[in-house]
Amino acid sequence: MDILYPNIPWALRWEAIKRALQDANTSLERIARETGVTAPAMVKTKHYPSGQQAIADALGVAPETLFPERYKTVWSDHHQQQINRVMGPLLGLSVGESQSQFRDTIEAWSSHPVDVSTMPTEAKAKWAWIKDHLKKRGLGIKQLANELSLRRSAIYNLAHHAYKKPQTLIAKCLGVAPRLIWPDRYNADGTPLKARGGNPAFATQRIIDPRHMLDLVEGLWLPIKTIEGLPGIASRKEYVSTQAERENWNLREREGLIEVAFESLPNLTKLHLTRGWTPKALETSAPDVAQSGSPLYRSVELSRDPPTDRHFVLRMATFGPNTLAELSLTCLRSSTGEVLNGLTSVVSANSLSELSRILNDASGLVDR
């Protein structure tokens, strides 16, 4: 391959295009008159398909060759040959000089390793760190993509997906081994992990930044921003803060995040987040209710959300002493009473008395 045309700054390429039009005994004004395309000069500042086509036709090349970024062109020898035929030694660079200079730059930086101890472990932050260090060394993502004959998207996808060729090139640009940047994608001997199809893949076990680990030392805590809008929780941040203060939630700050203790959440929210969860108050042994043997039905409205026209009701049913109670949590449309969703669970006989007391103390109790 000769000169890597896409690596040359656009302002310089635009001047070269205008000079090539002059060499072809035409101009932007003449193209406008002969083709009827309005203001083809607008191609300089924006994607203008008809103008780009007219200019490319005047030079005898395809528009995706002349304007590769606007057509997501994967640069190849064929495209480069068209540029060389039309423009010759573009901008005074000798054949192959641009590519040679870029490779020499990579080779020079390969002996100067970056300090990977400052590299974040979270994928998005790590990719930003990589791009920042490449930029400091004068190396751009577009240049790397062209060097490997790949789309730029293939390079950007490295943030979340393994790809051996660009990983190897980027690691060389940073002067380190690829496995030091992506330890979860390589074996200890430096060979890439393989998926079943033969492509590099992530390790089945990967390193988690301690800041993002689930901390269960003091019980289960959840970041407040992850529970906004759940059943029983206000839908906006400022309302959640008011609710937390009103209901006296147990809060703490960890790694810059405000977290709430799971036990502080409303029962409706706990039921939504977990399976098999039972309030501690219901886990204690108590005398059976419904000693008379007659059926007992109780229901209580747990939450109502007027904006969505929904409310949630918890119902209990038992048919005599020493039996299990059936609990059902139901979501209904407030305006019509239509059941939208529901789940059912069972509580042991020892918990019925305490459950009945809770239901009777709750607001909105209805006997049926």
**What's domain 5-94's architecture?**
Orthogonal Bundle (1.10)
Distance CA 196, CA 253 (A): 43
DSSP state at residue 160 = T
Contact criterion met (CB below 8 Å) for 287 and 322: no
Share of the chain above pLDDT 70, in %: 73
Residues listed for the chain: 368
* pLDDT value of residue 216: 67
Read off the pTM: 0.37
Which tens digit of pLDDT belongs to each residue from 3-42?
A: 578 878 788 888 889 888 887 888 999 999 999 999 999 9
Average pLDDT value for residue range 55-66: 92
> 340 versus 214: which is more confidently predicted?
340
Average pLDDT value for residue range 349-354: 59
* pLDDT value of residue 222: 87
Which tens digit of pLDDT belongs to each residue from 299-340?
A: 667 777 777 888 777 777 665 555 666 777 788 887 777 778
Q: What is the 3-state secondary structure (H, E, C) of 340-367?
A: EEEEEEEECHHHHHHHHHHHHHCCCCEE
Sheet with 251-254, edge to edge strand ranges? 221-223, 257-261, 251-254
Name the residue ranges covered by the structural domains of the chain: 5-94, 101-185, 214-269, 282-367
In CATH, what class is 101-185?
A: mainly alpha
